[in-house]
């Protein structure tokens, strides 16, 4: 029971709730996830099972892609629809918004940008999670962090009116580096346009190489007589890393944590490789050490 399980996370539960259900269904405690989704968000949640949990460090920094609905009209204290309304903050009226104005503003958020982490987040400052301070009504200074937005495009639905909540909704496709807060992006876009804004809907469509097309729902997992058949092989977690094929006599040495000499090539010191047996089995993930012209196992999968 070792592998990768892609779950289409439903709305209303935490990522940890999903992990607990998968543990129960698969009958194993060795289950973890990468790339937490907020309870109101849905979509791709990468679950690692068994030995694959040791590979989390190699995939949790992968780029993500989302379909996000931003509601213009007012901000909230959490930056999303679950928070309390924070006034109108409207300095530009709906009828003044044009496609040209919105597109010009979106252009400012493409590429490398700075974000201030929201107070309602799990990020720690001085050893304390920000959301714990926020729930006490406290706000602390947060340093801006660099994130990369490689894609930010308007979907087919453009500024759809939502009369019930008095907001104007803009559906966006966002592809971004790990650690990007889509709630903060929504707020910042609103500020740049001149209208209070918050994140209304969020659906993750891709996490690195994994997509919704590969995902199973929890309902599909529950009745399965063979839930393990839904697991992707462990190798899927690190298939983006270059392959280093071991000879038969280096497999045992690698399993014992020993380095293997290599010919000088284009690798850089510290580069990661997946160490594969002659039969194609994933043995370890290793680091290239330039000083020794060798590959040293970093994580061994016995």
* Choice among 2, 8, 17, 38 that is catalytic: 38
Which alpha helices (H) appear in the chain, and where do they start and end?
15-26, 99-107, 130-135, 182-193, 218-221, 248-255
- pLDDT attached to residue 88: 58
DSSP at 192: H
**Tens digits of residue pLDDT in 193-251:** 888 899 999 999 999 999 999 999 998 887 676 888 889 999 999 998 999 999 999 99
The model's pTM = 0.87
Does residue 69 contact residue 160 with C-beta atoms inside 8 Å? Answer: no
Architecture of the 243-300 domain: Roll (2.30)
Catalytic residue status for 162 = no
Return the CATH superfamily for domain 3-62+209-235.
Answer: Pseudouridine synthase (3.30.2350.10)
Low-confidence ranges of the chain (pLDDT < 50): none
* Domain ranges, ordered by start, for the chain: 3-62+209-235, 64-204, 243-300
Sign, CA dihedral 70-122-239-20, equals negative
Domain 3-62+209-235 identical in fold to domain 64-204 = yes
- pLDDT attached to residue 162: 65
**Tens digits of residue pLDDT in 27-50:** 899 999 998 899 999 999 999 999
Give the right CATH number for 64-204 from 3.40.50.150, 3.40.30.10, 3.30.2350.10, 3.90.1150.10.
3.30.2350.10
Q: In terms of C-beta density within 10 A (0-12 exposed, 13-18 middle, 19 or more buried), how is residue 252 classed?
A: exposed
């Amino acid at each position: 029971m070792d592998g990768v399980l892609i779950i289409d996370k439903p709305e209303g539960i935490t990522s940890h709730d999903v992990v607990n259900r998968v543990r129960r269904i698969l009958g194993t405690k060795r289950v973890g996830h990468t790339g937490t989704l907020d309870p109101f968000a849905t979509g791709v949640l990468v679950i690692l099972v068994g030995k694959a949990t040791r590979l989390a460090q190699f995939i949790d920094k992968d780029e993500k892609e989302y379909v996000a609905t931003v509601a213009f009209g007012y901000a909230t204290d959490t930056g999303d629809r679950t928070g309390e309304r924070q006034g109108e903050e409207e300095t530009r009226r709906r009828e003044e918004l044009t496609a040209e104005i919105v597109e010009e503003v979106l252009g400012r958020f493409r590429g490398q940008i700075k974000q201030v982490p929201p107070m309602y987040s799990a990020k720690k400052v001085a050893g304390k999670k920000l959301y714990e301070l926020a729930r006490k009504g406290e706000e602390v200074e947060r340093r801006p962090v660099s994130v990369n937005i490689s894609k930010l495009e308007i979907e087919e639905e453009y500024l759809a009116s939502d009369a019930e909540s008095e907001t104007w909704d803009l559906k966006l496709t966002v592809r971004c580096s790990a650690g990007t807060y889509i709630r903060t992006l929504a707020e910042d876009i609103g500020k740049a346009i001149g209208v209070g804004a918050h994140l209304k809907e969020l659906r993750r469509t891709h996490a690195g190489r994994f997509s919704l097309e590969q995902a199973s729902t929890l309902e599909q997992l529950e009745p399965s007589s063979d839930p393990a058949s839904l697991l992707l092989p462990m190798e899927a977690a690190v298939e983006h890393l270059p392959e280093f094929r071991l000879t038969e006599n280096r497999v045992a040495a690698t399993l014992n944590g020993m380095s293997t000499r290599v010919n000088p090539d284009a690798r850089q010191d510290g580069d990661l490789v997946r160490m594969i047996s002659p039969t194609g089995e994933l043995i370890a993930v290793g680091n290239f050490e330039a000083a020794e012209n060798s590959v040293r196992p970093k994580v061994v999968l016995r």
